[in-house]
Amino acid sequence: MHDVKTDVAPLDSAWSGGAPPFAMGSKKLGMWLFLVSDTLTFSALLIVYSYSRITNPDWPKPFPMYPAIVFSTTMTVVLLASSLTMVMGVMAAQRNDRKATVKWMIATMVGGLAFMGLHLREWFHLIEEGCTITHNPWGTPQFGAVFFGITGMHMTHVLIGVIYLGIVATGYGRGKFSAEDVEVNGLYWHFVDLVWMFVFPLIYLMSVKY
């Protein structure tokens, strides 16, 4: 009897299952997919804003150096600093240093809360000047809607991020969550930071009062 050669792969091959195709857990892959979908949400908002900004030569420029630009630049630095503390937290989690991880995550939460505090102050300043989501005292009516719409959407993400950090930090400190959970949390936080890198120049720097 002749030996029959088949194309069936050996059981230990990559196609036989049991090996994650991207060498990562399902939580992390799920977060990446969510971030891609969220990127498209923010992209739609920012592309529409960019076209509106360019096609309206009389777009208002209500942001003077102080307080608007100084505050928004400080917010950018604070958010970037919180991303760095998150990186340190993820690294500490890789070393299985639970105490240090929780400390770095609390520092990240403080950064997020500081960002929100500064941003709300900026919001109230504009509202006091008569700018709301439906009204703009400086001309082009869309300004208030896009400003509060885009920054509000981003601030909601920051708020969710701070709550998410609090839940994961508490769970990780008590041994209920793993290093992977901290890393997945970190991905979300860095995404919030990444989105601000587009919101800050588009909303603030494109509307500087000279």
Partner 1 sequence: MHTHALAEQAHAGATVKANLYIWFGLIAITGLEVFLAYEELPPTVMLTMLMGLSLLKAFMIMSYFMHLKFEKFTLVLWLVPSMIFCIGMMMIFFYPEAYRLLQLRPH
Amino acid letter, 50: S
Amino acid letter, 173: G
Kindly write out the interface string for residues 49-88 of this chain, putting x where it contacts partner 1 by CB under 8 A and - elsewhere.
-xxxxxxxx-x---------x---x--xx--xx-xx-xxx
The answer to whether 168 and 185 have CB atoms below 8 angstroms apart is: yes
Buried b (16+ CB within 10 A) or exposed e, 26-38: eebeebeeebeeb
Decide if residue 114 touches partner 1 (CB under 8 A).
Answer: no
Write down the H helix ranges in the chain: 26-55, 70-94, 98-128, 142-173, 179-199
Decide if residue 178 touches partner 1 (CB under 8 A).
Answer: yes
Least separation, in Å, of the C-beta of 4 and partner 1?
34
Least separation, in Å, of the C-beta of 1 and partner 1?
40
Binding residues among 8-27 for partner 1 as defined by CB under 8 A: 19-25, 27
Least separation, in Å, of the C-beta of 111 and partner 1?
13
Q: Is the dihedral of CA 135, 136, 141, 146 positive or negative?
A: negative
The answer to whether 108 and 85 have CB atoms below 8 angstroms apart is: yes
Q: Which residues bind partner 1 (CB under 8 A)?
A: 19-25, 27-28, 32, 36, 39-40, 43-44, 47-48, 50-57, 59, 69, 73, 76-77, 80-81, 83-84, 86-88, 90-91, 94, 178-180, 183, 186-187, 190-191, 193-194, 197-198, 200-202, 204-206, 208, 210
